[in-house]
Amino acid sequence: MKKFLGVSALTLALTACGGSSTDKKPDDKVVQNTAPTLSGSLTINTKALEPATLVVDVKDEQNDTITATIIDKPEWLNLSSKNNQVTFKIEPSLFDIANHTFTVEVSDGKATNQYTLIVNVAENREAWQSITLSDDDIIGNWHTKDASIQLIFASKDSGVLSHNGELSAFKWSNPDVVALNTHAIDCVLDCSQKALIEIDVLAKRDDALRVEFFNVSEDKGDVVTLYKTQPELRSHYYVDTRVSTFHTVNHLNTEAEESYFEFVLASSVPTPSGKTLFQPYADFSAMLNGTQLTITSDTLVNTYNTSQLHKDGYEFNVAFDLNLIDAEIIAQFDDFLVVKVSHNLTYHDEITPSQIAESAELVAAMQTQTSIGTFRRITPTAVPNLEIGTRYTGRLDNKIADTGEGLTLRYVPTHFAITAANQATVTFNTPKNNDSFKWHYTLDNNGETIKLTGNGSDTSLQFFTMHTGKMLYALERNKEERQARLAYELLEVIDETNITLADYKEVFSYLRQDFIIGNNKVFWFINDDGKGSYYFNSSFGETDAAYFTPNAYWQLESDNSITFALMSLCPNADDFVSCKNEILANETGSYLSLANFKMLYKDGDKYIFDRLIWQRLYDYSDQVYKENVYQHSYWMGKQ
């Protein structure tokens, strides 16, 4: 492993700072006292783990007994006086590498002089010897003095790294060096490696480690001291770390009230054909006791049905319950929080244990598992100035509304307009026929929150500032529906008259981890021939639309948005219009759909796209076809 580190010059110098003496009236029989002095200009070079000695002459004109002391003396620096000399002995360790300044005081009991002692201790690579630590020695929270590196070893294989403010999750191992395989902080399963970091431990004491922190992927590193800390918990609000236009507001409460979180779990169930992976959202509330979170809400997360092997040799359906057990606060730094949640799988039906042929893999999967989650701190703030005539991103509610004409509106809309000093209006169309819908809300702003009423909603909005400087607003908590609160980014929407077709003629990728699986990304693109895609999987590195296979026709709408029609739903069509007509004319087809995309916001090469989908499907319970409109917004990155 190649290691890079600069070594500074090593010097030690003494300079006089001045002194004082006791004044007396002139008297032929009394000799005026003067303070003792150090003399000689000496320099000594030293490195960590290399002892060094410095001898300085000391003199007192009256030949008084002299004492010499070092103020705030460290253990590795000692002083002794003998025969009109002061001897400094320096034995610095790897933890003492720095430029140090000390005050040396010499006194005859009546007057004193003070001197400045400067000690520069440099690195000593030749003396490095790797130290092997146990996993228990490593697990815990570590940070440099300047907080440029913050490390949380949360379990025997997982942790979180903050390096110069950038968060990553990692898997780690501990052979000769501690190796971290980092990945995106919001990835839970099937994560691609960001970097390989090796931590070589050079020195150890109870509260600190001296290590070389080396990024193998970038072939560069540094030697730093990591200090171990214990969390001293404080009440704060937090949001999840995913790249998204909406977040969950979580609250750590240290004041004997409920804390609440929404947490992504990593779980899997072995099957006869392989393994089924799950990453559900666990929404829970808990009471804090020390660092432990005792869950007070429902602990059932979800029920899964998978194929398993019967004792008689055939496959049959088995239902598993995923349950929460408990949670723990692992670390709380200034701007983020790390939580560990324990969970397990149990059989949903009591009869299953007598029927199933349990494999060793299944028995292991049903043991208690842990998932690590990281949350970013947010700060409550006053209600911002919402300008009349301006549109903003975000949802004012999450209602499911039935128009009474066989069309259900689900989770709409993703933006709203301030139409009066106390009113907000939502307007949206369906990709099917551009029918326009409007919802109106009354806003009662008291400066700290906004009470929101209208369209069957009665809630309040609270505003927060994120670590990026962007603003969120969160809906009032409703424990009956969910424990954590939903929050949305508050950003000014682009004027649609300023959006052109040229703005869409780029290749965009979805930035959420939900749309990144392993080495696959999901892309959005349009070509000049009227073809493109809004959901195209491709491996990392392939960003040229010329290599993508279109799967949809597209059309620019009058409001400067793009509507897509999937080719698979219109096998006889050759352009958007004929495809759309074929889809709408199909009276017996299920899962027919049209999708509309529109730019809402731009930040450099990152954009928020609004996605509105019309879908018709067959409801087998009611034996009728039903139409739904879904609306979401996503951050996309220009490739």
Instruction: Write a three-state SS string for 96-132.
Output: HCEEEEEEEEEECCCCEEEEEEEEEEECCHHHCCCCC
Lowest mean pLDDT among 52-56, 324-328, 448-452, 529-533: 52-56
User: 413 preceded by cis ω (within 30°)?
Assistant: yes
Asked if the structure places residue 416 within a domain, the reply is yes
Asked if the structure places residue 513 within a domain, the reply is yes
Distance CA 280, CA 491 (A): 29
- Among the candidates 380, 402, 435, a domain finishes at 380
Asked if the structure places residue 1 within a domain, the reply is no
pLDDT at site 28: 54
The number of CA neighbours under 13 Å toward the Cβ of 12 is: 22
pLDDT for 18 beyond 90? no
CATH of the domain at 530: 2.40.128
Distance CA 610, CA 393 (A): 9
Distance CA 108, CA 216 (A): 58
Question: Position of tokens 């493109």?
Answer: 532
Answer yes or no: do 603 and 577 share one domain: yes
The 10s digit of each residue's pLDDT in 340-351 is: 999 999 999 999
Distance CA 292, CA 340 (A): 10
Answer yes or no: do 475 and 504 share one domain: no
Question: Position of tokens 């049209």?
Answer: 594
User: Confidence class of residue 542 from pLDDT cuts 50, 70 and 90?
Assistant: confident
Lowest mean pLDDT among 91-95, 188-192, 255-259: 188-192
Distance CA 603, CA 354 (A): 58
Distance CA 557, CA 559 (A): 5
3-class secondary-structure state, position 496: helix
Residue 582 is inside which H or E element, if any? Answer: helix 576-585
The 10s digit of each residue's pLDDT in 270-309 is: 999 888 888 899 999 999 999 999 999 999 999 999 999 9
Average pLDDT in the 521-525 region? 91
Answer yes or no: do 506 and 630 share one domain: yes
Asked if the structure places residue 360 within a domain, the reply is yes
| 38, 56 Cβ separation under 8 angstroms | yes
pLDDT at site 404: 65
Answer yes or no: do 351 and 243 share one domain: yes
Asked if the structure places residue 6 within a domain, the reply is no
User: Confidence class of residue 438 from pLDDT cuts 50, 70 and 90?
Assistant: confident
Beta strand pairing status for 624-638 and 407-410?
A: parallel
Answer yes or no: do 35 and 118 share one domain: yes
User: Confidence class of residue 122 from pLDDT cuts 50, 70 and 90?
Assistant: very high
Answer yes or no: do 284 and 399 share one domain: no
Q: Which residue has the higher pLDDT, 29 or 488?
A: 488
The candidate with the shortest Cα–Cα distance to 357, out of 293, 307, 283, 391, is 307
Dihedral over Cα of 25, 26, 29, 35: its sign: positive
User: Confidence class of residue 97 from pLDDT cuts 50, 70 and 90?
Assistant: very high
Distance CA 639, CA 635 (A): 13
Alpha carbon dihedral 599, 185, 523, 572, in 10-degree steps, equals: -100
- Among the candidates 126, 155, 182, a domain finishes at 126
Distance CA 239, CA 461 (A): 16
pLDDT for 521 beyond 70? yes
The candidate with the shortest Cα–Cα distance to 233, out of 263, 264, 256, is 256
pLDDT at site 6: 32
Asked if the structure places residue 170 within a domain, the reply is yes
Structure tokens at 431: 């990709």
Q: What are phi and psi of 225, to 5 degrees?
A: -105, 125
3-class secondary-structure state, position 366: coil
The candidate with the shortest Cα–Cα distance to 155, out of 138, 134, 178, 176, is 138
pLDDT at site 405: 67
Answer yes or no: do 485 and 401 share one domain: yes
Structure tokens at 270: 């072995």
Average pLDDT in the 580-590 region? 91
pLDDT at site 2: 33
Which residue range(s) make up the domain with 317?
Answer: 236-380
| 498, 489 Cβ separation under 8 angstroms | no
Lowest mean pLDDT among 33-47, 119-133, 170-184: 33-47
Q: What are phi and psi of 497, to 5 degrees?
A: -70, -15
Q: What are phi and psi of 27, to 5 degrees?
A: -155, 120
Contacts of 26 (CB under 8 A, 6+ apart): none
Residue 634: exposure state from Cβ atoms within 10 A (0-12, 13-18, ≥19): buried
Question: Position of tokens 């057990």?
Answer: 325
Alpha carbon dihedral 527, 533, 538, 544, in 10-degree steps, equals: 10
Residue 15: exposure state from Cβ atoms within 10 A (0-12, 13-18, ≥19): exposed
| 139, 120 Cβ separation under 8 angstroms | no
Q: What are phi and psi of 459, to 5 degrees?
A: -150, -175
| 79, 73 Cβ separation under 8 angstroms | yes
Q: What is the number of structural domains in the chain?
A: 5
User: Confidence class of residue 621 from pLDDT cuts 50, 70 and 90?
Assistant: confident
Q: Which residue has the higher pLDDT, 132 or 464?
A: 464
Residue 439 is inside which H or E element, if any? Answer: strand 436-445
Asked if the structure places residue 7 within a domain, the reply is no
pLDDT for 26 beyond 80? no
Contacts of 388 (CB under 8 A, 6+ apart): 418, 419, 420, 421
User: Confidence class of residue 14 from pLDDT cuts 50, 70 and 90?
Assistant: very low
Answer yes or no: do 102 and 150 share one domain: no
Chain centroid offset of residue 310 CA: 43
| 390, 423 Cβ separation under 8 angstroms | no
- Among the candidates 469, 490, 511, a domain finishes at 490
pLDDT at site 539: 78
pLDDT at site 13: 44
pLDDT at site 622: 82
Dihedral over Cα of 41, 42, 48, 49: its sign: negative
Answer yes or no: do 147 and 117 share one domain: no
pLDDT at site 41: 61
pLDDT at site 406: 72
Answer yes or no: do 246 and 268 share one domain: yes
Answer yes or no: do 350 and 252 share one domain: yes
Q: Which residue has the higher pLDDT, 622 or 226?
A: 226
User: Confidence class of residue 455 from pLDDT cuts 50, 70 and 90?
Assistant: confident
pLDDT at site 29: 60
Asked if the structure places residue 5 within a domain, the reply is no
CATH of the domain at 81: 2.60.40.10
Answer yes or no: do 485 and 502 share one domain: no
pTM of the model: 0.87
pLDDT for 606 beyond 80? yes
pLDDT at site 511: 92
Looking at every residue in the chain, the average pLDDT score rounds to 90
Classify residue 476 by its DSSP letter. Answer: P
